[in-house]
Amino acid sequence: MAILVDETINAGGGLVTRSGKIVEIIASGQSPSIEVDEISDAGSHVVLPGLINTHHHFYQTLTRAHPEAINKELFDWLKTLYPVWAKIVNRDSFRLATRLALTELLMSGCTTVSDHHYLYPTGIEDAMDIQADEATRIGMRMTLNRGSMDLSVKDGGLPPDSVVQDRQDILADCERVINAFHDPGEGAMLQVALAPCSPFSVTTELMRESADLASKCNCRLHTHLGETHDEDAYCIEKFSCRPVDYLEENGWLNERTWLAHGIHFNDQEISRLGHHGVGVCHCPTSNMVLASGQCRTLELEQAGASVGLGVDGSASNDNSNLMEGVRHALMINRLTYGAAAVTHKDVLRWATEGSAKCLGRNDIGKIDIGYQADLAMYTLDELRFSGAGDALAALVLCGAHRADRVMIGGQWTLIDGNPLGIDVARLRAEHEKAAREFAGSLFK
């Protein structure tokens, strides 16, 4: 067995979990000091803390590899897809999109997910309730991001009128969702973050009032920021300042906040973000697909910012496999910083500890006593691993993409690669049908 723990810990003998937490770490050759009810043999596994995905848009699984959007950079890609997404009004399809993304993430070894959802057409006003229900059914931890857009083209924003909501309606629903689902306590299965979509789709008033509400309700803040040079130009033209200044002016430069992408920051902005304890979700796959650029991960970490990982939405990835994202993070960061500067342990740390910090959690993201028993276990029995030396490095370098076992809060949720309680073939068929029907409906 290989296991990712702090270098000072000898965990060669395994772990004991009780009441959903890790209560004992056993050194090689030793036995548990307490009585255990059940033993699982992890002798042939590589064991990681459960992976934590800190940015996604589940609904986009219905618009993967969209023929009119592929081969475009962010603003043109968004302008092509907003009107398409506006037509996702079937709640069964939305539920299937959510279930599919959650299942993909689980199968790649994720135990905690965060979805940034900002579309609430008539019929899916209760998108957060559907997501909470699906995560609970699968047994995954989830941060529900009550996303929002209230600035459309007619007011100088990027999205069309059809996808934005009234600000007061948004804030009322944010409060409702927090009251219904936000559990700030240790071991929480559901938490809520407030997540205005981006500077070019949200009014300044909504940015500011979301920050005030998050402070009042003790929940986190999330938004897209620093993704493209187009966004810099937009902020300078509309607000006469750069995106980080805009955050600061609206009460967002604090440790409640984590940002998706965070690519185009200058040195001074990086040091301000680090000083204020802002987290950044690095989305390597999406950033490469849309040619957005490279997040300055090492400088951000050095400045004191937390760096986590995200797959981003399924129209710019276009899958939901965080182990693949870990591998992409290694590759793009090595290209930027050099082969010795970024190791497999660094990128695995981003996907676990770093992501946990982005979500404001100190009970997940590590294998240690007192942490939640969230584990992702992989086998190295596929052709791609044959002959590998270092087992932990092999996960990343040979391209692990599917967990063999996953435990969340001490409960098995995936065994022998199969998510418990989910018929994967049926889910695939139902989701495919929903996506095909949706695509067909666009041209009626």
- CB 47, CB 374: distance < 8 Å: no
Site string for Zn ion, 143-182 (x = CB under 5 A): ----------------------------------------
Least distance to Zn ion from the beta carbon of 39, Å? Answer: 42
Least distance to Zn ion from the beta carbon of 213, Å? Answer: 21
- Binding segment for Zn ion (CB under 5 A), chosen from 35-43, 179-187, 309-317, 336-344, is 309-317
Residue 230, token pair as written in the block: 């187009």
Q: Please report which residue ranges of 182-283 form alpha helices under DSSP H.
A: 204-217, 229-239, 243-249, 267-275
Nearer to Zn ion, 312 or 353 (CB): 312
Residue 220: φ, ψ to 5°? -90, 165
Least distance to Zn ion from the beta carbon of 138, Å? Answer: 22
Nearer to Zn ion, 77 or 265 (CB): 77
Residue 38, token pair as written in the block: 């059940």
Helix/strand/coil for 71: coil
Least distance to Zn ion from the beta carbon of 198, Å? Answer: 9
Nearer to Zn ion, 198 or 352 (CB): 198
Nearer to Zn ion, 74 or 394 (CB): 74
Q: Tell me how far CA of residue 307 lies from CA of 153, 269, 341, 357, in angstroms.
A: 33, 15, 15, 8
Least distance to Zn ion from the beta carbon of 119, Å? Answer: 12
Task: Show Cβ contacts of residue 396 under 8 Å, excluding neighbours closer than 6 positions.
Answer: 326, 327, 330, 344, 347, 348
Least distance to Zn ion from the beta carbon of 317, Å? Answer: 10
- Binding segment for Zn ion (CB under 5 A), chosen from 129-137, 173-181, 312-320, 430-438, is 312-320
Helix/strand/coil for 106: helix
Tell me the residue ranges of DSSP E strands in 317-423: 375-379, 405-408, 411-415, 418-419
- Binding segment for Zn ion (CB under 5 A), chosen from 4-12, 154-162, 307-315, 392-400, is 307-315
Nearer to Zn ion, 312 or 374 (CB): 312
Least distance to Zn ion from the beta carbon of 316, Å? Answer: 7
- The number of residues that bind Zn ion (CB under 5 A) is 1
Nearer to Zn ion, 76 or 423 (CB): 76
Residue 436: φ, ψ to 5°? -65, -45
For residues 349 and 356, give the distance between their C-alpha atoms in angstroms, rounded to a whole number.
10
- Binding segment for Zn ion (CB under 5 A), chosen from 60-68, 310-318, 324-332, 362-370, is 310-318
Nearer to Zn ion, 197 or 377 (CB): 197
Nearer to Zn ion, 54 or 90 (CB): 54
Q: Give the residue among 410, 404, 344, 318 at the shortest CA–CA distance from 373.
A: 410
Least distance to Zn ion from the beta carbon of 260, Å? Answer: 5
Neighbours of 123 (CB within 10 A): 12
The footprint of Zn ion (CB under 5 A) covers: 312
